[in-house]
Amino acid sequence: MSACHAYIERCLQQFEKVGWRDDTQLKKIIAEARPIMDTSTCWDKKRFGSLIRYIKRLKRIAMLRRKHVGSDASSVVAFNLYTKGIGWMATFKKPVTSVACGCSHILLVSEGIPFSCGKNSWMQLGHDDFTTRDQFEMIASFSKNSLAVTGVVCGYSVSVIVTGKDAFACGCNANGRLGIGYDSSKPTKLTKIRYDALLTRIRCGSMHACALTDEGTIVSWGHHMYNGHGVPTYTPTVIDDLKDISMYNVSIDSSGYHTIATTVSGNIYTWGHNRVGQLGYRNIADSYIYPIPKRIDIGPDVAVVDACAGWGHSVLYTDTGGIYTCGRNEEGQLMLEKEKCPVNLRGHRYVDTFTKVFSDSSICRLATGNCFTGYINDNWQWVWWGNGNTLMKLENVTCVSIGTAIKCVGHTI
C-alpha cells in the first residue's frame, strides 16, 4: 500500500466516524496530501479525488441539517397550540419551546416549566396521582425548584422531562422502558435516568427508548426485541454494533416498535419490527423482528439528511431533496398507489424497500404519525398525506407532534 493510499484510507475512516466539521479540516487534508500526491500513482490520485468528493458531500449534509432541525419544536418562539383526539380538546396560548405526544397524553414546555394533559393511568403526566386531565396543568415538582426544563419526550405510556443536564422518566416501566434500572409493571413516578454522559435527542417508543450522548454515541434501553441489543437492558447502554459510529439523529414513533438511526455521514441503520417492511428490507422466511441494527443502502451517492419513523412506516429526506418511504400503506401514508402494493399475511398493503416518491428542497422538518406522513417547509406550511387523504397543506405552522390518537399543531401568533 502506498503512502498516499494509506493516508486516504485513514481520512475516510475518520470522516465515516466523526464527519466533516469545517473548511480548516479540509484544507489540512489537502495540504498534507499534496507532497505525497506528487509521486503517487494514478489510482491514488483517483482515490484522493473520491475523498474530496466525499468531504463535499458531508459539507452539503451539514448545511442542510442547519435548516432541518428534526421533529423537535426547539425552534418555536410562540404559537397557539390546539390538540384534538380521544374525546377532548385542549388549548394552550403561551410561548412553547417543546411539545410531545404519546398515545393519549401530551407534554409541553413553556418558560422552562413543563405542562401535561390527557390520560394518566400509568402516572405518565408527571403528577403524583392517576387523574386524567382535559386541560394542560403545570407539573408541580418542576415548578417548585430551580430546574429549568429544556425538552419533553413521550412514548406510548411514558414521559421524559429533560433539564439542562438530567432526564427524568415516569409512566409504565414494563421491560425497563423508563431506563431507571429495573423492570416493573407498576405505574412509576418521576425518576432520574442515570448515565455518565449527557443524553440528548431522547426518543421513546412503545416498549423501548433510545438517545444520543453529547459525543454522538447511541444508547438504548427496554425490550430486547426492539432495543438494538438483543438482550434486555434497563439503563442507557451503548449499542455495540454502532459504538464506533457518530450519530446525528434517532427516531422512534411514540407507539412504535422500530428505530431509524441517522449517522453524521448520511447513512441509516434500522432495527426492530418489520412485519410491513418498515425497516427498508424484505423479511427472511417467517421472521419479522430484527433486534440488531442493519445498515440500509438507499442508493449510490444518496446521503440521508434525516429520517423519521412512523408507527408502521418510515420516511427519509436526502441531500438532493428526495423523499423516500417504505412500510405500511393502508391509508396512503407512503404516497404510493395502495392497489399496486403487495399484501402481507394479515392483509396489509406495504412496500419493503425505501422508494422515492417525490422531491422538495424546501423541507425543514419531517413528522410521521400512525397512518400519515408530512413535513414543514421553508414557507411554514405543514404538508401532509395519509389517513386516506392525498396531499394537503396548512399555513403558518411552526410545529407538529403526533401520537397514536392525538396530534398537536402549532400556529404562529
CATH number at residue 121: 2.130.10.30
pLDDT over threshold 90, residue 309: yes
**Nearest one of 335, 300, 210 to 262, comparing CA atoms:** 210
Considering only residues 391 and 328, tell me which one the structure prediction assigns the higher pLDDT: 328
Same domain, 22 and 170: no
Average pLDDT for 349-362:
94
Q: What is the pLDDT of residue 334?
A: 95
State phi, psi for 389 to the nearest 5 degrees.
Answer: -105, 150
| Residue 324 near residue 377, CB atoms below 8 Å | no
In the chain, how many domains are there?
A: 2
* Over residues 18-26, mean pLDDT: 55
pTM for the full model? 0.85
From first CA to last CA, the distance across the chain in angstroms is 62
Give the model's confidence band at 39: pLDDT under 50 very low, under 70 low, under 90 confident, else very high.
Answer: low
Are residues 76 and 57 part of one domain? no
Full domain range(s) for residue 278 = 72-412
Are 185 and 268 found together in one domain? Answer: yes
Dihedral sign, Cα of residue 154, residue 141, residue 173, residue 122:
negative
Does the structure show a pLDDT above 60 at 226?
yes
Kindly state the DSSP code that residue 183 receives in the 8-state scheme. -
Same domain, 89 and 61: no
CA distances from 103 to 124, 181, 256, 287, 364 (A): 11, 24, 10, 27, 25
Q: Are residues 313 and 380 in the same domain?
A: yes
